[in-house]
């Protein structure tokens, strides 16, 4: 995939998440989506995410979103959604997810739910 095509794919994922977050969560994570109180606003926390993500401007194709939602029981939850937009397996993916999760947990001083959607062919 050339750089222009990759950038177009990256942009499409970002657009989908920003404009169709409820539908994306219902499609990829229906059990999580069922717990969210959709009558409450979704709060996108992208600036907070940029502060903990040292790779944000390296040109690597990742779509990261950090949103704050309310559960049906009234509890607020921060959901970190990390979409890996690439066609091959990345051996550092689990380390990166763990690192982001710990940083977010420390910063939020509370629970963080990290979710990932992988676009590669690896079943693991």
**By percentage, how much of the chain surpasses pLDDT 70?**
77
Q: Tell me the per-residue pLDDT of 24-67, one tens digit each, with 9 for 90 and over.
A: 999 999 999 999 999 999 988 878 877 887 665 555 556 688 89
Q: What is the pLDDT of residue 29?
A: 92
- Can you say whether residue 32 is alpha, beta or left, with left for phi > 0 and alpha for psi between -120 and 50 degrees? alpha
* pLDDT, position 41: 92
Q: Is the pTM value of this prediction over 0.85?
A: no
The overall average pLDDT reported for the chain is: 81
31 compared with 92, residue with greater pLDDT: 31
Whether the pLDDT of residue 9 is over 90: the answer is no
């Amino acid at each position: 995939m050339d750089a222009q095509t990759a950038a177009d794919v990256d942009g499409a994922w970002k657009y989908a998440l920003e404009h169709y977050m409820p539908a994306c969560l219902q499609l990829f994570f229906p059990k999580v989506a069922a717990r969210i109180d959709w009558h409450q606003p979704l709060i996108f926390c992208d600036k907070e995410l940029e502060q903990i993500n040292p790779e944000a401007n390296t040109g690597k194709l990742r779509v990261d979103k950090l949103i704050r939602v309310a559960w049906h029981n009234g509890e607020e939850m921060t959901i970190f959604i990390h979409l890996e937009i690439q066609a091959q397996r990345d051996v550092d993916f689990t380390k990166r997810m763990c690192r982001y999760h710990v940083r977010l947990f420390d910063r939020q001083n509370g629970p963080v739910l990290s979710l990932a959607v992988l676009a590669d062919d690896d079943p693991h």
